[in-house]
Amino acid sequence: MIYLENIGRYFLMLKSVFSKMTKWSMLRNLIFKEIDDLIIGSMGIVCFISFFVGGVVAIQTALNINNPLIPKYLVGFATRQSVILEFAPTFISIIMAGKVGSFITSSIGTMRVTEQIDALEVMGVNSLNYLVFPKIVALALYPFVITIAMFLGVFGGWLASIYGGFSTSADFIQGLQIEFIPFHVTYAFIKTFLFSFVLATIPSFYGYYMKGGALEVGKASTTSFVWTSVVIILINYLITQLLLT
Amino acid sequence: MIEVKNIKKSFDGVEILKGISTTFDKGKTNLIIGQSGSGKTVFLKSLLGLHIPEEGAILFDGKDYKSLSSKEQRELRTEMGMVFQGSALFDSMTVSENVMFPLRMFTNQAVSEMQDRVDIVLKRVKLIDAHHKFPAETSGGMQKRVAIARAIVMNPKYLFCDEPNSGLDPKTAIVIDNLIQEITDEYNITTVINTHDMNSVMEIGEKIVFLKNGIKAWEGTNKEIFKTDNESVTDFVYSSDLFKKVREVYLKELKE
């Protein structure tokens, strides 16, 4: 029952987020701040992970090709497919659920504990719009992060293949180009856009409705990470089923 | 003036407020006192509209909060100032930005006008040098004064304070009490303070409402509280030997 109650409360929260908008001049500053915190602040870890995981995917693929009949360009092909279809949109989103999600939950949760949310409400501010809407708008830029993750993943794979002696540059690039389906990129961005909404709203939900003190803020962050990851995985499955089959 | 008519509020089937009626007059410092768990905070949050009572009515200068539209409720809230127990200042903003926040949110004033207003209220709470400090860089007493400045920056009709003295040393507590009373007189606002502090009760309690187990057990002024023979009140207020002696001396002086 508690799950159903939470799902209902989540949708009621979304309704409040989009009602009684905060003054644009205030909102604009909040959006820029959130872009800095959530998008720019995540670039370092996203770039680092993308580059090295792309490299690992290329090496693993190369090491598992023993049959001489399998073309050499497969390393580039497998790297491209893995990075664009799953690694960049889904794997990075799970990492972001930990990094950005726990940041959102703990910052809103701390505001709840220290009565800052009550202060907003008493002043007549729609606290959900003030706190959550700028995060949704800021994370609408999340597909750009994923674009960079895709590029760096493939680049990391290329570098690892060439300098590790697993493939030639020509073979790798041939693999990147062969049987390229542009819709795969569209599919990746559709799910990335949905994940960005989940990344902004589920952690906000757990932060906003938490009760208790500092310990509960920590617990809420953990719960938010778990549920954000679960919802991302489920959406990933549904979108894949709907768009690629 | 705030009129409270028989309000009842429950949480998870447990009745916290069991039908409270009282009046808080304009231009007076009204105190709500009572033991922990007596329903003071729920009562104050009900006055603020953060909890909606299941029964009864709260009238702000004749306007019933519950019967107002959500837009009217939000407008009414802009006429309220609140000083929270932990000050509830926004961590990411400086003192000046915290005080300016309601002006930026609800007025279309130019920045220079807002800054002038902020200067006036910060001067009023004797914090003119703290403009660029962040809440974490200020003391508990300073944070309370910033919270008071933020609460009065919009010229509110109603000022609510939840235990404004908690966590402060006795000297700073008196400064805060005096500041609240002076502001109440100057701005002629209806001030409601939720407190445990007996010094506040004696010094600034122009009207005192004593809550016990979710009901109003007594009400009167700080003069009347010395003379009352209501056992619940005397047990609570004069629980320390010091206050018992203060009371004896006061009553003795009164007889003489």
User: Given this model, what pLDDT does residue B198 score?
Assistant: 83
Distance separating alpha carbons of residues B95 and B120, to the nearest angstrom: 13
Residue B225 dihedral angles phi and psi, to the nearest 5°? -65, -25
Cβ–Cβ pairs < 8 A, chains A and B:
55
CA A124 to chain B, closest CA, distance in angstroms equals 5
User: Given this model, what pLDDT does residue A200 score?
Assistant: 97
- Choose the closest CB to B90 out of A33, A116, A118: A116
Residues of B in contact with A33 (CB under 8 A): 92
- Choose the closest CB to B77 out of A114, A116, A122: A122
User: Given this model, what pLDDT does residue B71 score?
Assistant: 83
Strand partners, B24: B2
3-state secondary structure of A210: coil
Condensed to tens digits (0 to 9), the pLDDT of residues B208-252 reads 999 999 999 999 888 888 888 888 888 888 878 887 788 788 778
E strand residue ranges, chain B? 2-11, 14-24, 29-34, 55-60, 63-64, 80-83, 158-162, 190-194, 207-212, 215-220
Residue B199 dihedral angles phi and psi, to the nearest 5°? -65, -40
Better-scored residue on pLDDT, B167 or A81:
A81
Average pLDDT, chain A: 94
Cβ distance B105 to A118 less than 8 Å, yes or no, reads no
Distance separating alpha carbons of residues B83 and B86, to the nearest angstrom: 8
Distance separating alpha carbons of residues B223 and B250, to the nearest angstrom: 10
- Whether chain B has a CB inside 8 Å of the CB on A214: the answer is no
- Whether chain B has a CB inside 8 Å of the CB on A7: the answer is no
CA B120 to chain A, closest CA, distance in angstroms equals 20
Condensed to tens digits (0 to 9), the pLDDT of residues B131-147 reads 899 999 998 888 988 99
Mutate to test the interface with B, among A123, A127, A130 (most CBs of B within 10 A): A123
Cβ distance A26 to B105 less than 8 Å, yes or no, reads yes
Cβ distance B78 to A123 less than 8 Å, yes or no, reads yes
Task: Give the domains, in start order, of chain B with CATH numbers.
Answer: 2-79+157-255 (3.40.50.300), 90-155 (no CATH)
pLDDT value at A10 more than 90: yes
CA B104 to chain A, closest CA, distance in angstroms equals 7
CA A123 to chain B, closest CA, distance in angstroms equals 5
CA B183 to chain A, closest CA, distance in angstroms equals 19
Residues of B in contact with A112 (CB under 8 A): none
Cβ distance B104 to A25 less than 8 Å, yes or no, reads yes
Cα–Cα nearest to A127, from A6, A236, A20, A235: A20
CA B135 to chain A, closest CA, distance in angstroms equals 13
- Whether chain B has a CB inside 8 Å of the CB on A21: the answer is no
Condensed to tens digits (0 to 9), the pLDDT of residues B40-58 reads 989 999 998 888 899 999 9
User: Given this model, what pLDDT does residue B241 score?
Assistant: 82
Condensed to tens digits (0 to 9), the pLDDT of residues B159-216 reads 999 988 888 888 888 888 888 898 899 889 999 999 888 888 888 888 999 999 999 9
User: Given this model, what pLDDT does residue A219 score?
Assistant: 94
Burial (Cβ within 10 Å: 0-12, 13-18, ≥19) of residue B230: middle
Residues of B in contact with A131 (CB under 8 A): none
Residues of A in contact with B49 (CB under 8 A): 121-122
User: Given this model, what pLDDT does residue B54 score?
Assistant: 92
Condensed to tens digits (0 to 9), the pLDDT of residues B7-41 reads 999 998 899 999 999 999 998 999 999 888 889 98
